[in-house]
Structure 1
């Protein structure tokens, strides 16, 4: 092998230098900067069913989910208000007092509610960036305020 084709040995000049911080952003353990996706793995087959909704209500739900998908989890957590004069947003909140969950739901989940509109809600839980929908509440009857 000729000298031209040999790989040069590293010189000691770069010893002790670090890669710039901008080149290696810190790893985030949270998925709050991600947009949500929705899954139906744990949807209850006995209570608060999507099949009970009218087609116009389902259309509103789809539009609401599309709107929610545009936000990050960090934005969703702080979005929405029921104060007079405020815009109604997703209204994401954790629920501590709720009806019994289906048996296939893991015991350690934290149930939450997301507002679709003034009356309609979805209830479920978040694992990383995924929101697992458990109930479709068309008339605010799962956890009335």
Structure 2
């Protein structure tokens, strides 16, 4: 089998690179990642009941759009923004210009992380309420 050749670009007087406009992800449903979860506040430290509550919460949130989540109350289906200085040690995986968001699971236990596009990266599961002053 031969190699596939990329399509030839048409060049002319008005040839230019197309502008890429970033699309809003507010209308999308969230995806969740444990890629950056910290060992001090990870799933393995949760009880079976807390793990079940976390899974149920992620399922509930995945049925909503980001827009509806951001408009909901912070202790209901929504989330809250946490000031960066509320956490003493922020890992380098969280970009400086990114808001830290807090969802609740298993009652009022905070699930803390950050959003990049439609993905929410869970960084801490603060089941003992020790990550920041409540």
Partner SS for 2:98 = coil
In structure 2, what is the equivalent of residue 89 of structure 1? 76
In structure 2, what is the equivalent of residue 143 of structure 1? 132
Unaligned regions of 5+ residues in structure 1, if any? 1-26, 82-87
Superposed CA offset, 1:59-93 (max 9, x none): 01100110011110011112135xxxxxx513411
Superposed CA offset, 1:105-133 (max 9, x none): 33332211011243222100001100011
1:129 matches 2:118: yes
1:61 matches 2:54: yes
1:39 matches 2:33: yes
Q: Is the 8 A contact 2:100 2:112 kept in 1?
A: yes
TM-score by length of 2: 0.73
TM-score by length of 1: 0.68
Question: What is the RMSD computed on CA atoms of the aligned residues?
Answer: 2.0
Unaligned regions of 5+ residues in structure 2, if any? 1-20
1:72 matches 2:65: yes
Task: Give 1 or 2 for the bigger CA radius of gyration.
Answer: 1
